């Protein structure tokens, strides 16, 4: 079944768990945590201490999206802080195969991320190593940007490669997912949908989360 992953980037950091608790009560099982270093992307967010605090407060799986240079230096700290899933950008990894192995060795599930300008073919030699592939549908750095439609072509290419090669990785998308496009995104083959501003910048984020989940589930059933 599809999952909506609220991105805490759009939550109120001063009241972080208070913002997340109603979502968990509404059935949210996965939270997306955006880590930015001010070098790989032009913004700075949070580090392992916040992940550790969230880990203590929340039951949800923590999906930690590293938008940082030299991710190998910080993967052990994020794993120890309680990250369940850790994804790294193809564009940030000189030794991508080694980095994926490091994430697994540290006890987290590894994923690899592609920026909008990076082709799917660059992952051909690592697809069998990852638990999930994250397609960026905005240029990373900020919440609240507009969905880049070409991301869905990349999703379709991944679905085809997964079938042809009989692989198991999950397909995730991040950026500009809203109530309006969640069905289209699901129908393209996405299983995990990150949503930041579309969830948190509404009057009732828990209700919006449930509505997005309902639309995604309905889109899968129509397809089946």
Rounded CA gap, 12 and 201, in Å?
10
**Residue 174 annotated to the active site:** yes
**Residue 72 annotated to the active site:** no
Element (H, E) at 205: helix 205-223
Spatial CA neighbour of 71 closest among 54, 39, 93, 53: 93
Does the footprint of Zn ion cover residue 131 (CB under 5 A)? Answer: no
Q: Where are the beta strands (DSSP E) in 51-156?
A: 61-67, 85-89, 109-114, 132-136
Q: Considering only residues 20-49, where is the footprint of Zn ion by CB under 5 A? A: 34
Task: Choose, by CB under 5 A, the member of 10, 58, 65, 68 that binds Zn ion.
Answer: 65
Q: Which is nearer to ligand DX5, 110 or 140 (CB)?
A: 140
Rounded CA gap, 135 and 162, in Å?
15
Catalytic residue among 37, 63, 131, 174: 174
Q: Which is nearer to ligand DX5, 143 or 205 (CB)?
A: 143
Residue nearest to ligand DX5 (CB): 196
Neighbours of 204 (CB within 10 A): 12
Q: Which is nearer to ligand DX5, 71 or 175 (CB)?
A: 175
Interacting partner of 143 out of ligand DX5, Zn ion, none (Cβ under 5 to 8 A depending on kind): ligand DX5
Spatial CA neighbour of 120 closest among 85, 88, 161: 161
Rounded CA gap, 128 and 130, in Å?
6
By CB under 6 A, name the binding residues for ligand DX5: 7, 9-10, 32, 34, 65, 138, 140-141, 143-145, 174-177, 194-198
Minimum CB–partner distance for residue 224 and ligand DX5 (Å): 27
For the annotated catalytic residues, the residue numbers are 34, 174
């Amino acid at each position: 079944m599809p999952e909506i992953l609220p991105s805490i980037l759009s939550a109120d950091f001063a009241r972080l768990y208070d913002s997340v608790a109603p979502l968990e009560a509404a059935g949210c099982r996965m939270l997306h945590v955006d880590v930015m270093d001010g070098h790989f992307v032009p913004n700075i967010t949070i580090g392992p201490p916040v992940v550790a605090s969230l880990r203590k407060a929340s039951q949800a799986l923590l999906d930690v999206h590293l938008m940082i240079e030299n991710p190998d230096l910080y993967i052990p700290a994020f794993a120890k802080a309680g990250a369940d899933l850790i994804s790294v950008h193809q564009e940030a990894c000189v030794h991508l195969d080694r980095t994926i192995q490091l994430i697994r060795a540290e006890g987290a599930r590894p994923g690899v991320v592609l920026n909008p300008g990076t082709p799917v073919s660059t992952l051909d030699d690592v697809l069998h190593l990852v638990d999930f592939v994250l397609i960026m549908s905005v240029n990373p750095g900020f919440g609240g940007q507009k969905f880049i439609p070409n991301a869905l072509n990349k999703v379709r290419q991944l679905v085809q490669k997964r079938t042809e090669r009989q692989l198991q990785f999950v397909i995730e998308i991040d950026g500009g997912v809203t109530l309006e496009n969640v069905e289209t995104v699901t129908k393209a083959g996405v299983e995990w949908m990150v949503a930041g501003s579309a969830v948190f910048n509404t009057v009732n984020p828990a209700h919006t989360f449930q509505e997005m989940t309902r639309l995604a589930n309905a889109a899968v059933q129509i397809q089946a």
